[in-house]
Amino acid sequence: MGVIRWEGLTKTLVAIVGSPTLGFIGGVALIAAVYRAFYRQPRGRMMPVFTHLQRASAAYMAFSHGRNDAQKPMGVLALALALHYGWTELTVPIWIVVSCASVAAVGTAYGGWRIIRTLGLRVTGLDPVQGFAAEVSGASVIQAASEFGIPISTTHAITSSILGVGATRRLSAVRWGITFEIFLSWLLTVPVTIGLGALFMTILARLVAML
């Protein structure tokens, strides 16, 4: 336990709880502001406008995702190289940047559709106005965390923002059973990954000792 730097871990654990909270509040606040600003406008006129605006908000979300989530594997790979080669200063080679970005893009494009359907259809239905508000809110939370060097989950931020947007219409607009399953998976992820990490490290250490 002495090798753990608790000041850094504590900041991360606080962010794990804080980012969904801020995402939810941000989603509620932003969609309420949008509705208040355009409530006199006909729905048929505003939907095409926000369809175009959502392209920009989706790009903002993608940029935020890369700025935070993609940095985590880059950091692990760079640390491994630094330990192997005995670097005194940690640098990230361009091939690590390209490889992590490429793998993240391919993984999202290939395996992300089930998550997209869950968040965009099963948790609550989203029209372009609500999608715009959720993406801007979630991306802004990620940007704020990135500024402070805090790693957070893009999924936590955007999911909570979508919940905030959906709950603003009415509480019944959110499928809370599915939401509970999502939060339960978040809760279990931390202890399970800690346990698996300790298990694999123990196995690896014993194999190295045998060699």
Sequence ranges of the domains in the chain? 6-69+113-174, 176-211
- The structure's pTM equals 0.83
Residue given tokens 């391919």 in the structure block: 106
> What is the tens place of the pLDDT at every residue in 98-125?
998 888 888 888 877 888 888 877 888 8
Q: What is the DSSP letter of 149?
A: T
Q: What is the DSSP letter of 160?
A: H
pLDDT for res 1: 67
Residue by residue, DSSP assigns 26-86 as: HHHHHHHHHHHHHTTS-HHHHHHHHHHHHHHHHHHHHHHHHHHTTHHHHHHHHHHHHHHHT
Distance CA 166, CA 129 (A): 11
Distance CA 161, CA 89 (A): 38
Q: Is the pLDDT of residue 44 over 90?
A: no
Residue given tokens 């965009």 in the structure block: 120
pLDDT for res 10: 83
pLDDT for res 184: 92
Average pLDDT over the chain, rounded to whole? Answer: 88
Q: Is the pLDDT of residue 30 over 90?
A: yes
pLDDT for res 195: 93
Please state, as a whole number, how many other Cβ atoms lie within 10 Å of the Cβ of residue 84: 8
pLDDT for res 190: 86
> What is the tens place of the pLDDT at every residue in 74-100?
988 998 999 899 888 888 889 999 998
> What is the tens place of the pLDDT at every residue in 126-144?
889 999 999 999 999 999 9
Distance CA 183, CA 179 (A): 6
Residue ranges of alpha helices (H) inside the chain are 6-38, 43-68, 71-85, 94-111, 113-117, 128-147, 154-169, 176-210
Distance CA 121, CA 157 (A): 17
Task: For residues 180-198, give the mean pLDDT.
Answer: 91
Task: For residues 57-78, give the mean pLDDT.
Answer: 90
Confidence tier at 52 by pLDDT (50, 70, 90): very high
Q: Is the pLDDT of residue 4 over 70?
A: yes
pLDDT for res 174: 87
Confidence tier at 8 by pLDDT (50, 70, 90): confident
